[in-house]
Homo-oligomer: A and B are copies of this chain.
Amino acid sequence: MSQNIYLSNYEFEDALEFYFSKINIEKSKECIKSEESIDRITAEPIYSEISSPFYNSSAMDGIALKNEITLGANEKNHKILEEGKDYIVVDTGDPIPKEYDCVIMVEDLIKLADNKVEIYKSAASFQNIRPLGEDIVENSLIIPSGHKIRPVDIGAMLAGGVNSVEVYKKPLVGIIPTGTELVEPGTTPLKIGDIIDFNSRTFAAQVFQYGGIARRYSIVKDDYEIIKTTIKKAVEECDIVLVNAGSSAGREDFTSKVIGELGEVYIHGVAIKPGKPVILGKIDNKPVIGIPGYPVSAYIIMEQFVRRIIEEFSGEKNYEYKIIKGVLSRRIMSSLKHLEFVRVKLGKVGEKLIVTPLNRGAGAIMSLVRADGILEVPQNIEGIESGTEVEVKLLKDENEINNTIVCIGSHDPILDIVADLIHVQNKEYYLSSAHVGSMGGIMALKNSETHIAPIHMLDMETGEYNKSYIKKYLKDKDIALIKCVKRIQGIMVPKGNPNKIASISDIWSKKLKFVNRQRGAGTRLLLDYNLKRLNINPREIEGYSREEYTHLGVAAAVANGDADCGLGIYSAAIMMGLEFIPVCNEEYDIAIPREFLEKPMIKEFIKVIKSHEFKEKLDYLGGYDYSEAGNIILL
């Protein structure tokens, strides 16, 4: 229960400068075959060793001859020439023997019998000859140093007789995963407490993209001596060593101590978030970096430190992120204590590119998978106001962003199906959905942050779905509803229904442990509606305050035995192997500003939810009625 890390808080730029001054990287070179040099960086300027062509050749089909014997030929005074004696026949590309100095093309010859031709024009020296060195002259520059080799460069090198080329060596990057709880992917059975080592594989792929060569070491358990031996070995074998330290305090201190013992730790703690507890050190003149265990922290350290080191070795930036401008959809608060890298979703809704910050926790790798970009909030500011124009580093193709339907609102697994079908059926388009509940979707429409909002909101007075909420909250917008599905909501319980639940009132009467959805979720409204109808005080439901963000999240909690039951849709219960007690049918519809109905990508969306393929997948999931899917209701 001890916690004793005293980390420094170096400003990011200072840390970079200080660390790079200490590690002082020297590029090393290697000689490789030119034909295998694609994408490598030249370490020297490359000069041709031979000319191309390396002999004079014919530029035409025709005859090669000495120009002097053509002198005097003209329209009035034709000359007759004899093959073998006066000329030879040549095709395009054929070498021109030394004794000849020009070519007359076949179109300018009058053919006679007996291997003779008649000419009616004189020829100039070197006429129709492709001279030696026309493409490349011996000893001339083909490509400069520091140049990334492209396919045409390979062609030019080989044509110029350059069969091997001096390039910067790709650094070998050793990756050491440490942690007694780590297990290899694919380990079965997984035991409670195991952590799958996915970080080291993510690092390896990053190293590859940055232009390095990754060498992963086997998982090292938390043992000071074994860690020390492994780091020593890796330093001997590699150019750069990364130690993935796990996220717990004790263990990070461990790595730092080993690096300090074998070499030097320059910095432990940089004023960035995520990624603060990074360890920047050196052993035997090689960079050794301790990388925090949380996947997002690790990603930022890889991008901000490791990438730069690899590029320094390999001679050039391997790729650049595009920076684009957008408008922040909601306020970001940030501390003066650090530079923060905020993951964002991007959406071209109307004219503006809308930038919406995502979950800022460092533990969720899915937040990186879902992110469209990274927004940097500088250390010296306390936050950025909503509506501000900001610059975002793109993690996806800009085209993809512009052709993505932004979908913010209630969650249903069918959204994943729609997203997949849209892209499969029309490669140009994408759908990206954020699950913030029906009310969140309504608010996103209000703020013009989304194209569409899937909602299922029961009016407690009328029993009608969706319309009254749109009228109430979006009165100054012209909103339409695209009918989507009726779906069965019900109580999810473990197989066999051990608590014999028959209705919502049983949750209260049997004092069962419940798992709820987040505030603003339509499913939560449904529960509240029923509790009110039954006159049950929500406080008397154990677990009412425990919030999950998706149907699957609720189903997983029930499946794991953390709760006795939860409210959700049929398909999620079935996916998790649960039993399902139907409560009601509800209308899950898509709210959309009327103007967007004309957008080609929205038309594609409607086409998809009307399609046979979509309905087939819904039948497979079960619990959906799609008879009205795609109908449009103007409000």
Contact = CB atoms under 8 A, between A and B. Distances in A.
A144 B423 contact: yes
A626 interface: no
Contact of A93 (B61, B92, B132, B195): B195
B562 A133 contact: no
Contact of A193 (B95, B124, B185, B190): B95
Contact of A543 (B125, B132, B513): B125
Contact of A132 (B3, B545, B556): B556
B552 A137 contact: yes
A151 B206 contact: yes
A124 B545 contact: yes
A427 interface: yes
Contact of A299 (B53, B137, B152): B152
B363 A130 contact: yes
Given A55-B192, A205-B154, A163 B185 contact: yes
Nearest to A295: B155
A260 interface: no
A363 B93 CA distance: 10
Contact of A133 (B52, B144, B552): B552
Interface string A58-82: 0001100000000000000000000
A202 interface: yes
Contacts of A204: 35
Given A369-B143, A420-B144, A56 B151 contact: no
Interface string A116-132: 00000000111000111
B159 A198 contact: yes
A138 interface: yes
A137 B366 CA distance: 10
Contacts of A192: 55, 95
Contact of A61 (B163, B249, B561): B249
Contact of A50 (B91, B136, B190): B190
Residue from A47, A152, A395 with most neighbouring chain B CB atoms (10 Å): A152
A28 interface: no
Contacts of A202: 151-152, 154-155
Contact of A92 (B106, B248, B542): B248
Contacts of A248: 61, 91-93
Contacts of A143: 369
Nearest to A430: B144
A94 interface: yes
Interface in A170-201: 181, 185-186, 190, 192-193, 195-199, 201
A120 to B, nearest CB: 18
A445 B253 CA distance: 63
A38 interface: yes
A560 B204 CA distance: 53
A132 B560 contact: yes
B201 A247 contact: no
A561 B132 CA distance: 11
A612 interface: no
A596 B232 CA distance: 53
A438 interface: no
A146 B423 contact: yes
Contacts of A575: 138-139
A368 B157 CA distance: 12
A395 B135 CA distance: 20
Interface string A255-282: 0000000000000000000000000000
Contact of A135 (B135, B320, B363): B363
B552 A198 contact: no
B93 A198 contact: no
A477 interface: no
A335 interface: no
B144 A198 contact: no
Contacts of A365: 52, 135-136, 152, 155-156, 159
Given A151-B205, A208-B38, A545-B125, A366 B416 contact: no
Given A132-B560, A146-B424, A208-B38, A125 B199 contact: no
B198 A155 contact: yes
Contacts of A548: 131
A50 B194 CA distance: 13
Nearest to A68: B542
Contacts of A130: 363
A534 interface: no
25 contacts: A35-B204, A35-B205, A45-B416, A45-B420, A52-B196, A56-B562, A61-B249, A93-B247, A124-B545, A125-B513, A125-B543, A132-B562, A134-B364, A138-B552, A140-B413, A141-B420, A144-B419, A144-B430, A145-B420, A146-B427, A151-B206, A152-B295, A154-B205, A155-B295, A158-B198
Of all A-B residue pairs in the complex, the 10 with the closest CB atoms, nearest first, are A155-B202, A158-B198, A151-B205, A141-B416, A152-B368, A35-B201, A137-B552, A133-B556, A38-B205, A135-B364
